[in-house]
Amino acid sequence: MGDPIMKGKAVPHMIGLFPLGMMSLFFLAPLAFMVVVSFYERDPLGFYKVAFVWDNYSKFFSSFYYVISLRSLWSASLGAVIVVLLAFPAMYIIVDMSRRWQLFWVILLLSLMCLSEVIIGFAWLILFSENSGIPKFLGWAGLWEDPRSLSPSFGAMMVGYVTLGFSLVALMFLPQLARRDRSIEEAALTLGTPPMRVFSKVILPNFKAGLISALVTMFVYFLGVFVMPTMLGRPQDWNMTVIITDKAVGDANMPLGAALSVVMLIFTLIIIGSLAYASRTREQGERS
């Protein structure tokens, strides 16, 4: 009697081997190689020497690289929060529109996703420049006496982040929001709860899991952006991705680049892990 069940289980297990194999080939193997390289010794004239040294990691703590990594964590989390705060209510409004308008917005969001980072960066660069775009317009309208270029700046970079992430997050929320059980909100409304309170006390808690996963997705995505910080940000805003590229490709310092990547990876894992843990314990607390 046990046999047929065991056989029945073997097939899904076999299917499971496929993603595992793909993961190992395309993700785990390069990752493992990166960890290995991060212990190699830097050869200032050439490339690297095969060795086992901690120099690359000690460099992270002895120089201001940790300042840069704190900065990238800050800008990535800020960007993620802004994007989610904007995209969630926007999608909430869109799903209640007529079918035609819904379609319009969804197509618009999808086409925004087709634009490459470089094109978005260039578009904002022109819009933020002193001689054309927003400052020029504000000067012409008499709203700004001495119009100056708005980029490079932290704000310009954040605008770039939001443009990049907005459509992605909005579309992540689309199925959840469209299929939600509206009777709960209706019940709250008929019981006399003001709409804003319904949003904060009923809708938001209902979508907590979705919101957190959107936050985490955006956070990880923004940690890895390269074009926005270099095009729209000042050197003070450059994130770890930029520095890693500079070190690994620019200075041909692969071991340091690898070590910095490993450190960033650990940071990211800790943050995602603690977020997931926090949301789980809170859920359990609420249930008991």
Partner 1 sequence: MNSVKTLAIAAGLATAMVSNSSAEEITVSAWGGFFEETLKSAIYPGFTEETGIEVRSIAQPADQAWLTQLTNAARAKKAPADLSLVADEVFIRGQSIGLWANLDAADIPNTATLLDGFTKESEDGALNAVGALTWFTTFVTNTDAAPDAPTSWADLWTRDWDGKLGLTSNSNSGLIEATALTFFDGYDTMETREGLEQIIAKIAELKPQVQLWYRDEGQFQQSLEAGELAGGLYYHDVTMLSAADGRPVTSTFPQEGGILGDAYWIVPRDSKNIDAAEQFINYMIRPDIQAKLARNLGVAPVAKRETMDLTDEEFAAISTTGNAIRTQTAIHLREGDWLSDKYLEMISR
Residues 44-63 that bind partner 1 (CB under 8 A): 44-47, 63
Residues 223-252, one symbol each (x = binds partner 1 by CB under 8 A, - = not), give -------xx--xxx-x----x--x-xxxxx
To partner 1, the closest distance from the beta carbon of 167 in angstroms equals 26
Which listed residue (35, 112, 115, 130) binds partner 1 by CB under 8 A? 130
> How far apart are the C-alpha atoms of 163 and 160, rounded to whole Å?
5
To partner 1, the closest distance from the beta carbon of 251 in angstroms equals 6
> How far apart are the C-alpha atoms of 129 and 150, rounded to whole Å?
6
Q: Which residue has the tokens 């006390």?
A: 201
Taken in order 134, 140, 142, 147, the sign of the CA dihedral is: positive
Residue 124 interacts with partner 1 (CB under 8 A): yes or no = no
Residue type, 133: G
Range in contact with partner 1 (rule: CB under 8 A) among 147-155, 169-177, 192-200, 262-270: 147-155
Q: Which residue has the tokens 């770890």?
A: 240
- Is residue 132 within 8 Å of 212, Cβ to Cβ? no
Residues 256-285 that bind partner 1 (CB under 8 A): 256
Nearer to partner 1, 128 or 173 (CB): 128
Q: C-alpha angle 225/227/229, rounded to 5°?
A: 75
Quick one: DSSP state of residue 146?
A: S
Binding stretches for partner 1 (CB under 8 A): 42-47, 63-64, 67-68, 125, 129-132, 148-149, 152, 230-231, 234-236, 238, 243, 246, 248-253, 256
